[in-house]
Structure 1
Amino acid sequence: MARYTGPKTKIARKFGEAIFGDDKSFEKKNYPPGQHGNNRRRGKKSEYAIQLMEKQKAKYTYGILERQFRNLFEKANRSKGVTGEVLLQLCESRLDNVVYRMGIAPSRRAARQLVSHRHITVNGEVVNIPSYSLKPGEVIGVREKSKSLVVITESLANNSNVYEWITWNSEKMEGNFVTIPERMQIPEAIKEQLIVELYSK
């Protein structure tokens, strides 16, 4: 199962923002990684470099590798609507992302692991594919055996985020993927138009 497993703070420092959520190490060292960190004087970035950085940021944010991300872009490109927006909507509709958004897991990495280890159900059936694309109306729940897992109970207790496009029933420990989110409902600071420009070259 291919995914990035390296140091998260280093990546966050590269982009200059905490893309993996709260990170004390990032707050302490809010400058580029590497030997020269603070003192590095880089020339003006080219248009290509800016577009590439934005694509890399989106990939790391959602935990998707290049081939899968390109496939999502091509799917977005074929569909009706604004390509960049559709691309982010496809990323947000992934099962691992929705598990994270519902607060079942504290991070997307943890959400991916919960899905892979068969702790999550969709419409009552166990689904262990993190990239599973959810459709509006589908019900995401925690498997009966897994409801007492510490990582899940702690994450739900600490979750205060509310999204208009998903609902959560804490008694049943299940939620509803109500609708595909609009761009303004997606909180990620990603300039999707730059990604479209990069792939369109």
Structure 2
Amino acid sequence: MPLAAFFAQFASFPFNENQSSHKNFDRLVKVLKCDVKDPQGRIALAREGFKDALVHEFNARFGTDNSISNWQYLCGVLRVDPVPNSVKRCRKCVWDVHVNLVDLVDSQRTGKPVKLFASLEDLRAYTHHTRNTFPKETRAYQGGLLRAITRTYFRRPGHGPGSAKKKERKKKQKAARAAAGGD
């Protein structure tokens, strides 16, 4: 798998499959004795490789397309019950689940249940405290499923599926296309 392969390239580093991705990475930094002033930029290169590996690990575990089977699998992991029978319903259910994406990937790697949060505020506080942030800047590697859920965890209030703001924005976009002769 991508995370194990990333860590395997560092011969002196023992990857712990039962430990979180970020804890493994923090240990790697200590093993390499890297710091912010590293003239060779080893820490920056390792961090970029780690971010890419996280995205590839998500894709390997959950899929890259918006197929119903990928969405239903994700719903099952997030303990959505009953699992919906359409992509649209799955997306709506997943939108309301608050989970740290790094923990989601780690749960699949370690076999431990993923921690769900009662509110977006609880998720944000946890993510800030643990620094378990999922890379947003690696969009080139993200499949459609990851792109769809990444927004849900760092959204602003009123921007979810079915929100009044989203409906109003779509209405304005449609009107602008019609005025430009596009619709």
**What TM-score, normalized to structure 1?**
0.28
Larger CA Rg, structure 1 vs 2: 2
More helix by share: 2
**What TM-score, normalized to structure 2?**
0.30
More strand by share: 1
